[in-house]
């Protein structure tokens, strides 16, 4: 199984350059941002992610308006002047007129879906020519995120912004960003995993009508140490439009406007249910979700191998640059936390009740 996962992780790592070329990418990103800042000014927003202050410095309003909604529930307290552990500088060329950051010749073109990744410590970078995006992290606490045109971003970049930078940054802090949903109480919660269509988002949306708290839908961070803990990253959730109207008619009018009909509906939970969002909780169990035909939802035993198979492949595929270290972290996590199957039924009101019953026994 591990060998297969390594193959999935390796398929995205196709940009091979020297360390000096990578340093030039970082310097070029810094220079391009400085030009954007000189042209349009800078605004800063501060958030507390996984217990640490992260500052986002935007040159121009375009990206700021599009990327901050997903982090709203993690806003740092007013007047907080603590030193950020990470500072990310964000800008686009279309609205600021800043020059495009330079790229190595091997990555200046590329196919529409190409994903180029470099890692030469302490700098990492990911470039997607088809999307016109560049993400750079200096592991000493600096990062840059450039897009060619903020108005032409892929929809998921607004719903789950800075995924790649946060994935890299969280790792040395003892967290791994995973593909899964998380709901719970202030005392304990669950991580819900499974392939697309298994019911993770249904579980997350069902929590909004209950006493459960919402920590995330598609992506959350998990501390794999002792004790394991979930840290929320995004307050944005996505669900198939037809499924949303059928199962959550009260929520359907609240979804974000402006997305193509071909995209899933997006709900920024903090804007409508601020009392239901949370920055995280201790992790009591991992639930492997699967839909079933009946109305009820039930929790039943499953193996740790089944939980690993439901969590690891989608995490590595979704986040592109994971490898053996992330696989080992996920394996440690699953060894430390009870694992169950969650059969998700059609009665959404029964979903939180099943999870709350499990948490009461934890």
List pLDDT tens digits, range 136-147.
Answer: 999 999 999 999
The two counts, helices (H) then strands (E), for the chain are: 12, 18
**Overall average pLDDT of the 149-170 stretch:** 93
**Residue extent(s) of CATH 3.40.50 domains in the chain:** 175-361
How large is the angle between the packed helices 2-10 and 304-319, nearest 10 degrees?
10
Pick the CATH number of 175-361 from 1.10.3470, 1.10.640, 3.40.50, 2.60.40: 3.40.50
- pTM attached to this predicted model: 0.91
85: which DSSP letter? Answer: S
Which of 239-243, 252-256, 266-270, 320-324 has the lowest average pLDDT?
A: 320-324
- What is the model's pLDDT at position 309? 96
Structure tokens at 72: 């709203």
Q: What is the mean pLDDT of the chain?
A: 90
CB contact at 8 A, 96 and 39: yes
- What is the model's pLDDT at position 101? 93
- What is the model's pLDDT at position 9? 37
245: which DSSP letter? Answer: H
In the structure, what pLDDT confidence band is assigned to residue 121 with cuts at 50, 70 and 90? Answer: confident
Q: Tell me what percent of the residues of the chain surpass a pLDDT of 90.
A: 74
pLDDT exceeds cutoff 50 at 13: no
- What is the model's pLDDT at position 261? 67
**Overall average pLDDT of the 65-75 stretch:** 96
């Amino acid at each position: 199984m591990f060998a297969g996962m390594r193959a999935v992780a390796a398929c995205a790592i196709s940009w091979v350059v020297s360390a000096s070329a990578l340093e030039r990418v970082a310097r070029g990103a810094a220079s391009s941002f400085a030009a954007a800042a000189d042209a349009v000014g800078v605004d800063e927003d501060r958030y507390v992610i996984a217990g640490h202050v992260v500052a986002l410095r935007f040159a121009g309003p375009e990206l700021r308006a599009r990327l901050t909604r997903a982090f709203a529930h993690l806003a740092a307290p007013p007047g907080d002047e603590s030193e950020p552990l990470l500072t990310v500088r964000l800008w686009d060329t279309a609205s600021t007129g800043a020059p495009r950051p330079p790229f190595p010749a091997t990555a200046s073109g590329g196919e529409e879906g190409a994903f180029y990744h470099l890692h030469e410590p302490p700098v990492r970078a990911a470039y997607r020519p088809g999307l016109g995006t560049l993400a750079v992290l200096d592991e000493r606490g600096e990062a840059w995120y450039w897009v060619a045109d903020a108005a032409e971003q892929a929809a998921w970049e607004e719903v789950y912004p800075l995924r790649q930078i946060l994935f890299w940054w969280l790792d040395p802090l003892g967290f791994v960003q995973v593909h899964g949903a998380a709901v719970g109480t202030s005392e304990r919660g669950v991580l819900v995993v499974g392939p697309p269509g298994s019911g993770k988002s249904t579980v997350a949306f069902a929590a909004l009508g209950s006493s459960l708290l919402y920590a995330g839908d598609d992506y959350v961070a998990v501390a794999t140490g002792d004790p394991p803990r979930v840290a929320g990253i995004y307050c944005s959730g996505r669900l198939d439009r037809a499924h949303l109207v059928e199962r959550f008619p009260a929520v359907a009018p609240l979804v974000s406007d402006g997305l193509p009909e071909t995209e899933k509906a997006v709900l920024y939970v903090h804007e409508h249910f601020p009392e239901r969002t949370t920055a995280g909780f201790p992790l009591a169990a991992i639930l492997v979700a699967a839909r079933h035909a009946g109305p009820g939802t039930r929790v039943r035993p499953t193996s740790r191998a089944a939980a690993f198979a439901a969590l690891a492949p989608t995490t590595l595929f979704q986040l592109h640059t994971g490898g053996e270290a992330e696989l080992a972290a996920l394996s440690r996590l699953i060894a430390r936390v009870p694992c169950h199957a969650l059969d998700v039924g059609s009665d959404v009101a029964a979903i939180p009740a099943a999870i709350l019953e499990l948490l009461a026994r934890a």
